[in-house]
Amino acid sequence: MKNVELNGNLIIIGGAEDKEGRKEILKKVCECLDKENDMLLVATVATEYPKEAATKYRKVFGELGVKNIEILDISVRDDAFIEGNSKLIEKASLIFFTGGDQLRITSLIGGSPVYDALKEAGKKGKYIVGTSAGASVMSDTMVVEGVEEEAPRKCALKMSPGIGFIENVIIDQHFAQRGRIGRLLTGVAQNPQVLGVGIDENTAIIVNADGIAEVAGVGAVYFVDGSQISYTNVSEQHSDEVLSIFNVRLHVLKEGNKFDLIRKLPFEEEKSKNEN
């Protein structure tokens, strides 16, 4: 059984984070840097509307007190080979990937100097943050598309290599809102060695380098552990059949709960000795 492996400090958001009200998730993002001196880099790689995304996040992060905000705009693959873009990553203390299409991220930066700079930033412990498509791309295997709001079906899921800031995990976002439990179960059935993680909207996991994920936000995070699966009918034969799986473990966590990604176990914060 493979263990989860981490490359840096991560904040993985299930999409649709509050940008107008209390902004609790984005406040937690800003707590990870010195708002007066550090640079926050917004990567608009995933979206086909980078100017609009840049304007939106400049505004919200500015309202939260961040003084130094730069934009990593990579709209064509040649942009990933521009030295200035790699330098922006080197200077940044936190890199924030917006939503859009996760295949845009991997196809535009994969194997490029910008990709190498991102991986190096993770190794140095810089915070890498992603929302929606920017969340899916965090893992080494990412969900690209699959049937939603239906019973899981064999071979009904399309997956692709991600960036790999977190390995042996599959991440899905907009989870409860788009009825994605079936497709995450399919992913885990196809790859029982990986941990499935589904994150609701306006909800996030904050993952440290020791593999502890803390839940933040208004929704839930679902951890699907297939390491003890005793039977599944996954195969390409009769691929339209409903998927059958035995002995899958499901953990559902709310804000403040924590999950040990290495040991694949949830836990509550220990009460202080002064508490009754």
Active site residues: 132, 150, 174
Q: Six-digit token pair at 267? A: 């836990």
User: Rounded to an integer, what distance in angstroms lies between the CA atom of residue 197 and that of residue 175?
Assistant: 9
Q: Six-digit token pair at 191? A: 């790859």
Cβ-in-10-Å burial (0-12, 13-18, 19+) of 78 comes to exposed
CA trace torsion 158, 164, 169, 174 (10° rounding): -60
Whether residue 202 contacts residue 175, with contact meaning beta carbons closer than 8 Å, is answered with: no
Whether residue 47 contacts residue 72, with contact meaning beta carbons closer than 8 Å, is answered with: no
C-alpha dihedral sign at 55, 58, 62, 64: positive
Centre a 10 Å sphere on the Cβ of residue 237 and count the other Cβ atoms it contains. 9
108 CB contacts (<8 Å, ≥6 apart)? 45, 74, 75, 76, 77, 79, 80
Q: Six-digit token pair at 102? A: 């996760």
Closest alpha carbon to 68 in 45, 91, 84: 91
Q: What's the half-sphere exposure (Cβ side, CA atoms, 13 Å) at 151?
A: 8
Q: What is the DSSP string of 100-135?
A: S-HHHHHHHHTTSHHHHHHHHHHHTT-EEEEETHHH
